[in-house]
């Protein structure tokens, strides 16, 4: 064990280390709060001046993270900055930046690479660098390792490189950062030891694996598992619908089996920062090895087709009423990617809105968690959330239930909507004006 290894482990275990969180979004912000709450000094680094300003003022920009928690963190030493030079102050730097897909559905590593390049000049001996962004196996070795060592530091001796994938589930009341086990892979054994010392203070259970590649693959397997099973149940939904069977009834019945079955429910498509994206990281990397991941790609095709399936159900319903989609007023209920959160990343609801608009429909939305349609990289709507009142519902030719927030008054919707296209199985009792999608 080098002097630097022993020194940083001691600092981490004694909570004298300064923790730097780079990227203060849905992953970085809860992690900051956790480290702050157990007595570490935490420095947040982000390129977004608006976010940094709000945090330093004790404000939150994520609905399920209350402002009083941010204010308390500020009072106990947390601060945020856009100045990457301050990375040199930190003993551990945890990178929590996006890894989206580009327009060719290939990994966009620009956020990871640009962030690493931004902190690179300020790295010093005795630091740990941990990447939490979901990515393809080999990213830590291929992209971070050479950059970290560019200035002459030796990983495993002077500086310590770790991959530990995030496992945040925004809005899930059953789990928090502390209670979700943390997978950790180090580039060397010394790196792993430092990574364990970094995370075991904040997380109840750490799960060491043999390498950064194994940790990267673990995260992909978790999310591909979900994507494939959701693809399966989405395909079965289409078959069941054609046969006049309610797929939600079938899944509920199958879920009573106490072994060998896990319930997955169909929907309007995949959303969020992981499930729609991560499978493509592996399919892209597998091509480098001459492999074609047919099973994974097939599930991706099924899931990507779901917004179009919902659109077709909408058009069928309008057609039965003697109406065309063109010129019809359509209200989309729920535009966050899942229930009870304000997270819009990769939301299939937004794709449904775009499909409706492309066919000439006049689209609006209602979402109690998203009062104003946010600025997004690829989607642009100048809309505010519609109030769900009896009179307002009656103004629309159809409503599409895309995200089943608990705050919706489903009885009011059923009473006053002319046509309901239900993609979430909220309405189990058959009715003439309700179409399952």
Measured in whole angstroms, the distance separating CA 346 from the mean position of its chain's CA atoms is: 8
Q: What is the pLDDT of residue 407?
A: 96
Residue 388 lies inside a defined structural domain of this protein: yes
Domain edge (last residue) among 252, 278, 302: 302
Residue 356 lies inside a defined structural domain of this protein: yes
Residue 215 lies inside a defined structural domain of this protein: no
What gap in Å lies between CA 220 and CA 13, rounded to an integer?
Answer: 30
What gap in Å lies between CA 365 and CA 373, rounded to an integer?
Answer: 9
Q: Measured on CA atoms in the order 21, 26, 29, 30, is the torsion positive or negative?
A: negative
Tell me the three state secondary structure of residue 265. coil
In this structure, what CATH number is given to the domain that contains residue 242? 1.10.1040.10
On whether both 322 and 285 belong to a single domain, the answer is no
96 included as an active-site residue: no
On whether both 205 and 326 belong to a single domain, the answer is no
On whether both 54 and 180 belong to a single domain, the answer is yes
| Bridging pattern class, strands 79-81 and 420-422 | unpaired
Domain edge (last residue) among 191, 210, 229: 210
With contact defined as beta carbons under 8 Å apart, do 342 and 370 qualify? yes
On whether both 323 and 377 belong to a single domain, the answer is yes
Residue 25 lies inside a defined structural domain of this protein: yes
Which H/E stretch holds residue 253?
Answer: helix 247-254
Q: What is the pLDDT of residue 170?
A: 78
On whether both 323 and 370 belong to a single domain, the answer is yes
Residue 418 lies inside a defined structural domain of this protein: yes
| Residues near 214 by beta carbon (within 8 Å), at least 6 away in sequence | 137, 185
Q: What is the pLDDT of residue 2?
A: 82
Structural domain for 296, as ranges: 220-302
Closest CA to 211 of 163, 282, 245: 163
Residue 230 lies inside a defined structural domain of this protein: yes
Residue 198 lies inside a defined structural domain of this protein: yes
0.85 exceeded by the pTM? yes
352-363 per-residue burial string, b: 16 or more CB within 10 A, e: under 16:
bbbbbeebebeb
Residue 187 lies inside a defined structural domain of this protein: yes
On whether both 72 and 180 belong to a single domain, the answer is yes
On whether both 375 and 255 belong to a single domain, the answer is no
Domain edge (last residue) among 240, 270, 302: 302
Residue pointed to by tokens 């009656």: 394
On whether both 268 and 205 belong to a single domain, the answer is no
On whether both 141 and 270 belong to a single domain, the answer is no
The pLDDT profile of the chain, 437 residues, written as one tens digit per residue, is: 789 999 999 999 999 999 999 999 999 999 999 999 999 999 999 999 999 999 999 999 998 899 999 999 999 999 999 999 999 999 999 999 999 888 778 889 999 999 999 999 999 999 999 999 999 999 999 999 999 999 999 999 999 999 999 998 877 888 889 999 999 999 999 999 999 999 999 999 999 999 999 999 999 999 999 999 999 999 999 999 999 999 999 999 999 999 999 999 999 998 877 777 888 889 999 999 999 999 899 998 999 999 999 999 999 999 999 999 999 999 999 999 999 999 998 899 999 999 999 999 999 999 999 999 998 777 789 999 999 999 999 999 999 999 999 999 999 999 999 999 999 999 999 899 999 99
Of 90, 96, 191, 274, catalytic: 274
In this structure, what CATH number is given to the domain that contains residue 27? 3.40.50.720
On whether both 189 and 294 belong to a single domain, the answer is no
What gap in Å lies between CA 251 and CA 253, rounded to an integer?
Answer: 5
On whether both 294 and 321 belong to a single domain, the answer is no
Structural domains in the chain (count): 3
On whether both 117 and 178 belong to a single domain, the answer is yes
């Amino acid at each position: 064990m080098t002097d630097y290894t022993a020194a940083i482990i001691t600092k981490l275990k004694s909570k004298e280390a300064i923790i730097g969180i780079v990227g203060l979004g849905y992953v970085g912000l809860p992690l900051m709060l956790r480290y702050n709450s157990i007595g570490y000094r935490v420095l947040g680094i982000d390129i977004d001046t608006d976010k940094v300003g709000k945090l330093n003022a004790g404000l939150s920009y994520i609905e399920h993270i209350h402002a009083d928690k941010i204010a308390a963190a500020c009072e106990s030493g947390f601060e945020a900055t856009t100045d990457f030079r301050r990375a040199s102050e930190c003993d551990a730097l945890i990178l929590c930046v996006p890894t989206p897909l580009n327009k060719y559905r290939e990994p966009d590593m620009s956020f990871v690479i640009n962030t690493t390049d931004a902190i690179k000049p300020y790295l010093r001996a005795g630091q740990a660098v941990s990447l939490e962004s979901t990515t393809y196996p080999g990213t830590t070795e291929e992209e971070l390792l050479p950059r970290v060592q560019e200035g002459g530091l030796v990983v495993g001796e002077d500086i310590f490189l770790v991959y530990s994938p995030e496992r945040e589930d925004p809005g899930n009341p059953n789990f928090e950062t502390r209670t979700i086990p943390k997978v950790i892979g180090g580039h060397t054994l010394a790196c792993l030891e430092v990574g364990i010392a970094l995370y075991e203070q904040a997380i109840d259970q750490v799960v060491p694996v043999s390498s950064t590649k194994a940790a990267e693959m673990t995260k992909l397997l978790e999310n591909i598992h979900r994507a494939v099973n959701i693809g399966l149940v989405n395909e079965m939904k289409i078959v069941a619908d054609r046969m006049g069977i309610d797929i939600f009834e079938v899944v509920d019945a199958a879920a009573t089996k106490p072994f060998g079955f896990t319930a997955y429910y169909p929907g309007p498509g995949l959303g969020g920062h992981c499930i729609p994206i991560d499978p493509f990281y592996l399919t892209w990397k597998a091509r480098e090895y001459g492999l074609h991941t047919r099973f994974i790609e097939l599930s991706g095709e099924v899931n990507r087709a779901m917004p179009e399936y919902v659109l077709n159900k909408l058009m069928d319903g309008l057609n039965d009423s003697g109406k065309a989609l063109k010129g019809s007023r359509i209200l989309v209920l729920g535009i966050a990617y899942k229930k009870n959160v304000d997270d819009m990343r990769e939301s299939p609801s937004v794709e449904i809105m775009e499909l409706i608009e492309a066919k000439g429909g006049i689209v609006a939305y209602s979402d109690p968690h998203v009062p104003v349609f946010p600025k997004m990289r690829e989607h642009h709507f100048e809309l505010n959330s519609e109030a769900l009142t009896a009179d307002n519902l009656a103004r629309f030719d159809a409503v599409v239930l895309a995200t089943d927030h608990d705050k919706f008054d489903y009885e009011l919707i059923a009473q006053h909507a002319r046509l309901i296209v239900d993609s979430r199985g909220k309405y189990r009792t058959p009715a003439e004006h309700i179409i399952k999608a």
